[in-house]
Chain A
């Protein structure tokens, strides 16, 4: 018992680990809440693309020597609006629009970063996260943006629910669907930006989708899905960080693997919807 206590407390001696834990905790929570909409509206590809597309923003911020998250933020919002605009025009399908923009932006980002001599090290951090490098300023930015995202989700809960569940009703109620859709894209962009340092660009989509998908299997109301997802996201993030500390693994990867383990458990054993449950019912 004391051993367990000791192994939980021991990493907490290092301030950078405490900062990393806070960052992971907040990111895990916010991602899962926004992720509920990503899962329900089938926007996983959009989320993944957005994460990659912010790379040039980071590169420019790096070259200009300003906070990387600021560059990511600007680029994330621009990309969200750009994809939204291209796909709404209707000449090309949404996933095609996403594919074009995402690859172009990512390539531009890599090209810009390759002009910097020591880019290989930094690119790794951007791609896979560097949660132990989170500064106090980053922490405040994550907290601030996280609060904004959660506040919007809570205040516009019923409106976002209706445009996701029943666009026809939303239209008959004269809700501004386009505006709400863009707002949702921007919430996803903000979420992507704050997740950058914990899991990085490449694994970002897992934080958006996996805890929310796990919660989807376990719940049957949207706000339950958000709360359960947030709990799973937060627990996985913290547990993943401990795992990376003791097993000496890359932190972002460890967090995502813990998330996936939760998902597999739910997929197999979720009441009513889990594979095992369904099998048993069929046998009877």
Chain B
């Protein structure tokens, strides 16, 4: 099996979960209601957990550094996350739509990976699919609720959807070793995933008064999978690694 290709896949998956988990955790304590605060914080915690699980595979089976070193010591250009997860939080509609667009892809990605020829990944996928089920149930419930609510709610959701769609398409930017992953049966590939994802989000949007932007008119925001990032990633990394830079062995 092509180890470079597997590493590439794992790094982008881990980094997406890690950065979005951090972004979503910024809502802890200030989400719109107590109940939603707890639920959204839990989703964020799950995402950090997924990142840890993926970094652990990299460390234990592919000879990469420990998860803490992967997460906290790499330079910005070593990260392989998509621009979608880097964007700072706007208002809550923005984070909800990002959560909706991301977790549908995440659910389908891991579902496909349950069939992966790369055993550690197939095993991990089987373990976390239940958590991801909850993530999309949570996202769908909110989108259906607000997407059929007041004019303000619908306008906010639609605006976020329009804004985020090109970034969401950027999640499916093929990496340099895309073909090898497909040929080795490690992963179905980003194109196939994108097609499943579109169907999946369309099915929910159809139950609302929102409109899915026509993706043929959009230019996906690429670059993340090759180490090119938005201006927002570096400040996030700086904040996230603050404790680690002071004391590598700190526990909290």
- Whether chain B is bound by chain A comes out as no
- Residues on B lying within 8 angstroms of A by beta carbon are none
